[in-house]
Structure 1
Amino acid sequence: MKERFPQARIVALADQFDLSVVRLGHAAGVNGFCLTASAPEVLIKSLELVMLGETVLPSAIFRSLTSGAASDQDQSLHVNSVAEAKLPALAACRLSMREREILGCLTKGEPNKVIARKLEITEATIKVHVKAILRKIGATNRTQAAMWASQRLPRTEGSTLNV
């Protein structure tokens, strides 16, 4: 597919991923790997990231790669209650109420300027809070933080986040 359509963005969707398959897929030009058990919001955000040119991996694969488990070529990664329990919980991250409020705004895709106006604080203060949030939850960018929050922040009516 990539040979014929070099600009095409490719996402693999499966119940589980074997690290060797992920490596082969990446080498073949796959831009994202999504798990079928992902929440709809996570899947949508993942696809949006891929369309923006980012590479997407399930957090379990990323943790395995960064923790040295990548040397085990046959390790399969399943999404189940055990794997989900290893993801950092909202309470474990010790986010302040203000950080939770800002994280809720990030899940809506609001830029710093809009968040600052909404909360009546400076844009520089928002930047400080966003950096602290990223550090506390282990995300590398705002989109990852929004995806993380969409799975962990309490929900109320519809898809509105209760921060």
Structure 2
Amino acid sequence: MTAISNAPVGTPVEQKPISVICKDALLCQCLMLGIAHRGYFDRVVGFTDPAEWVASEICSSSTIVLWISDASSLDKMINDDLDILREKAPNVTVIIISTLTNTYAVINALRKGVKGYVTSDSDLDVLLGAIRLVRAGGVYAPTNSLKELSTTSTFGEEPDNEAREKEATRFTAREMTIIRLLRLGDPNKTIARKMNLTEGTIKLHVGTIMRKIGAQNRTQVVYFTNRVFKDP
């Protein structure tokens, strides 16, 4: 654990510091410095992973800024780590900084209770604004994701199991596997490696999937197949 204090000597520091969780030590230090000194927050504490935060004495921190570098890390965070963090500190709020910019990744994280989603190509001021908004009780998501979401029918009535099974029969087993990986935000190259296929073959399958459901892009594939999956 590392800590940075931005308060002048002799002044009280905030009781609940901001925690930064990032496995890359240098990146973690840079985020801590930027948040503390550019954002004028009293105290920022750094950890390498959620487990270290849980084991620390500082786990009463009300706000966590967590760096996510890939789809599998995001999936683990929202499906496993988030529950562990909340078990230790029920009122903790989590802001994700992620290299994943697709709309599905954003909305999936927000649905799981993440209060802020900042893409890694954002300016530092955007991150600081998101932190302030979340600490004030709001929720932050990238504007482009919200715009794309507004043109996609995704929050309709939840289908029953029979309807899900019927829709799933539209796809082959291989197509279902590809859809699951698309929903994790994996690019074609990564999907090809995981499935031991060529990238060209994956492109053909994605095209077939899109034609079957009338999708115009990968994001619509993700949302139009929400009905097939109980969990995003």
TM-score by length of 1: 0.45
Q: TM-score scaled by structure 2?
A: 0.33
